[in-house]
Amino acid sequence: MNVAMNVVFIGGGNMADALIGGMLKSGFAPGQLRAIEVDGAARRRLADKYRVECYDESRKALRPGDVVVFAVKPQQMKEAARFSGLKDNAHLVISIAAGITLDTLSRWLGGYARMVRAMPNTPALIGAGVAGLYAQPGVSEAERKQAEAILGAVGGTVWIEDEALMDAVTAVSGSGPAYVFWFIEQLAAAGESLGLAKETSRTLAIETVLGAAKLAAQSADSPSVLRERVTSKGGTTEAALKAFEEQKLAERFLRAVEAARDRGTEMGAQMAKD
């Protein structure tokens, strides 16, 4: 989905790289995209890789009507916002920084009301991400579509109507790939413990997770129904799932995700004090 617009990325790291690459594949032209990056090596890498214009400061890059995407780490956002040169609510602003509320970012920008907060995840690096999006009331439907076109270039998008739930999005999908990687590690390690060769166990673990996720995505049935179909009474799967229940893994997992959410809330509160 290509919406007619020009986009400026503030920050040229991995996520900006992924978004630019995805947007070019989805039909955007290099001339529609620009990046602002203080690190010279990162600027040259983006320019050489994608043939997009890259600058070392905002005043050289910003033009009327640009959509501005802040693609910097949360701890860099305050400085990036205050030196961005944005003013007078003249641009649609998209932030992908975890934990930073739009109220805080608006204050750093001198009072902005056309902003979208997005939480993408690292599978965006291969075009398989998913992003939660929240828009301020002042964002128009056309601007929502612009945000969808940018984040949707590297995966799926879902809209969240309460910004307070963005910390839950971060805990589920933003941090979620790490949980999956951890599970793959544990499944592969378990296979080794049972006597499988390291590379064999690793391949079995990765392909099993990949295949199960694809089946869940393509099936009309819920994950719980799919799980039940694999679980024969008195069989091997049932034995494993009973062990999960005995160890209360579901409760422990919920506490882990809640901890991630709570940390996101804490980060936002800390940033809001600045």
Token pair of 258 as six digits: 């809640």
pLDDT tens profile 182-202: 999 999 999 999 999 999 999
pLDDT > 60? residue 96? yes
What average pLDDT does range 56-82 have in this prediction? Answer: 91
Between CA 175 and CA 32 the distance in angstroms is: 31
Phi and psi dihedrals of 267, rounded to 5?
Answer: -60, -40
* CATH of range 7-169; options 2.60.40.3140, 3.40.50.720, 3.40.50.300, 2.40.100.10: 3.40.50.720
Question: Is residue 84 within 8 Å of 112, Cβ to Cβ?
Answer: no
**The pTM of the whole model exceeds 0.75:** yes
Domain boundaries, the chain: 7-169, 176-267
Between CA 2 and CA 254 the distance in angstroms is: 38
Question: Is residue 160 within 8 Å of 166, Cβ to Cβ?
Answer: yes
pLDDT > 80? residue 23? yes
What confidence tier does 2 reach under pLDDT thresholds 50, 70, 90? low
pLDDT tens profile 110-142: 999 999 999 999 999 999 999 999 999 989 999
Between CA 84 and CA 69 the distance in angstroms is: 11
Between CA 182 and CA 171 the distance in angstroms is: 15
What average pLDDT does range 158-174 have in this prediction? Answer: 96
What confidence tier does 10 reach under pLDDT thresholds 50, 70, 90? very high
pLDDT > 80? residue 3? no
- DSSP alpha helix (H) spans, the chain: 14-25, 40-50, 58-61, 77-82, 102-108, 141-151, 166-169, 176-193, 198-218, 223-230, 236-246, 249-272
Query: What pLDDT was estimated at residue 87?
Result: 84
What confidence tier does 89 reach under pLDDT thresholds 50, 70, 90? confident
Under CATH, which number does the domain 176-267 receive? 1.10.3730.10
pLDDT tens profile 223-240: 999 999 999 999 999 999
